[in-house]
């Protein structure tokens, strides 16, 4: 796979980026993967006779676009599913061990496939929420689009280089490798821009957003929540915006400015409030309560319940029952 020209600079950037706490778990894993891939790529250059690094390099390179796609899904308030990505990485591992000649074709297929999926999601799901933006939603959307296009460039360059190596004895590959290296450096740089925290003071930024957000937007969203929209398991930013009849960027900006929350945190807040009321009763199990308010997995339900209440659902129920008995 193509290696960044200035991977040492990328390494320093990633080390700084991993200090961020607000980028999301998947985005943090992506940054760590960039760090790992940079190290392995550098070792493969410095130790050309060591087969270990040459075998690990295509595996981490294949994981990079997969993690980019998952980070985008998380940024757009979607549900991150890792099974398919894990299967693709396993396929690459099998290819490295048993069919190394297939790497040159599997690799660009992975990069190109992830890029296409990212562009399709960006086209159909609207703008990104402000929490992932260095400035505003539009610039973040364009940044992710450019990242996807860079993935396509790297994939196409890989294909061309493979063809030149097979049919033209490698003529012209040096220039293409340089272009590929620059493209990979661009991918790393975009990840830095997408994850770089704004230097604008939080108070100033929130004040500007509050003044720009129409309170009527929040009133409309709250009304939908009161009608029980939050109980829909697949509810996300795009669906909420469609139900409200308001552009996604305005919905996200209003929630972020007036509640200092992401859309998922806002929706989960409504879910947990109802869950707390239901847990105080005795007619439903914890799982039934979880499903009735819109959660799909117990781990996510427990995590959000503890984040909001400081207790697990079982602890909340036990205390509610004890209080009822004492009264």
**What range defines the domain where residue 34 resides?**
7-195
Residues in Cβ contact with 92 at an 8 Å cutoff, skipping those fewer than 6 apart: 58, 59, 62, 103, 106, 107, 110
Give yes or no: residues 149 and 218 share one domain. Answer: no
Stated pTM of the model = 0.54
Residues in Cβ contact with 153 at an 8 Å cutoff, skipping those fewer than 6 apart: 179, 180, 183
Are the C-beta atoms of residues 136 and 144 closer than 8 Å to each other? no
Q: How far apart are CA 79 and CA 135, in angstroms?
A: 24
Give yes or no: residues 45 and 147 share one domain. Answer: yes
Residue-wise pLDDT for 84-121, tens only, equals: 888 999 999 999 889 888 888 898 899 899 999 888 88
Give yes or no: residues 211 and 309 share one domain. Answer: yes
Give yes or no: residues 146 and 272 share one domain. Answer: no
Give yes or no: residues 65 and 180 share one domain. Answer: yes
Say if 84 falls within a structural domain: yes
Give yes or no: residues 283 and 136 share one domain. Answer: no
Give yes or no: residues 312 and 276 share one domain. Answer: yes
Say how many Å lie between the first and final Cα of the chain, rounded: 68
The sign one gets for the Cα dihedral 42, 116, 18, 103 is negative
Structurally, the chain folds into a number of domains equal to 2
Q: How far apart are CA 195 and CA 113, in angstroms?
A: 23
Work out the average pLDDT over 235-241. Answer: 89
Give yes or no: residues 173 and 279 share one domain. Answer: no
Residue-wise pLDDT for 240-279, tens only, equals: 988 988 888 888 888 888 888 888 899 999 999 999 999 9
Residue-wise pLDDT for 32-60, tens only, equals: 777 777 777 777 767 777 888 788 888 98
Give yes or no: residues 143 and 209 share one domain. Answer: no
Q: How far apart are CA 84 and CA 22, in angstroms?
A: 26
Say if 86 falls within a structural domain: yes
């Amino acid at each position: 796979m193509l290696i960044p020209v200035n991977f040492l600079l990328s390494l320093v950037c990633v080390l700084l980026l991993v200090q961020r706490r607000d980028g999301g778990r998947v985005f943090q894993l992506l940054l760590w993967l960039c760090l790992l891939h940079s190290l392995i790529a550098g070792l493969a250059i410095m130790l050309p006779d060591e087969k270990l690094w040459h075998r690990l390099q295509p595996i981490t390179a294949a994981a990079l676009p997969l993690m980019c796609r998952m980070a985008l899904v998380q940024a757009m308030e979607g549900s991150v599913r890792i099974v398919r990505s894990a299967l693709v990485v396993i396929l690459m591992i099998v290819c490295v061990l048993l069919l190394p000649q297939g790497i040159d074709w599997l690799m660009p297929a992975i990069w190109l496939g992830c890029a296409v999926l990212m562009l399709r999601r960006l086209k159909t799901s609207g703008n990104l929420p402000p929490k992932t933006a260095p400035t505003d939603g539009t610039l973040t959307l364009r940044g992710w689009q450019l990242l996807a296009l860079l993935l396509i460039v790297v994939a196409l360059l890989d294909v061309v280089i493979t063809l030149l190596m097979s049919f033209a004895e490698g003529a012209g590959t040096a220039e293409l490798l340089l272009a590929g290296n620059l493209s990979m450096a661009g991918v790393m740089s975009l990840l830095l821009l997408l994850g770089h925290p704004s230097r604008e003071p939080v108070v100033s930024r929130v004040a500007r957003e509050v003044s720009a957000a129409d309170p009527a937007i929040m009133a409309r969203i709250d009304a939908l929540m009161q009608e029980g929209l939050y109980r829909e398991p697949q509810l996300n930013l795009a669906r909420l915006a469609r139900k409200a009849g308001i552009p996604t960027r305005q919905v996200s900006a209003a929630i972020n400015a007036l509640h200092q929350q992401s859309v998922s945190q806002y929706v989960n807040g409504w879910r947990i409030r109802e869950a707390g009321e239901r847990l105080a009763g005795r007619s439903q199990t914890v799982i039934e309560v979880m499903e009735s308010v819109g959660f799909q997995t117990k781990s996510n339900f427990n995590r959000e319940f503890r984040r909001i209440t400081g207790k697990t659902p079982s602890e909340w129920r036990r205390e509610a029952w004890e209080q009822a008995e004492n009264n």
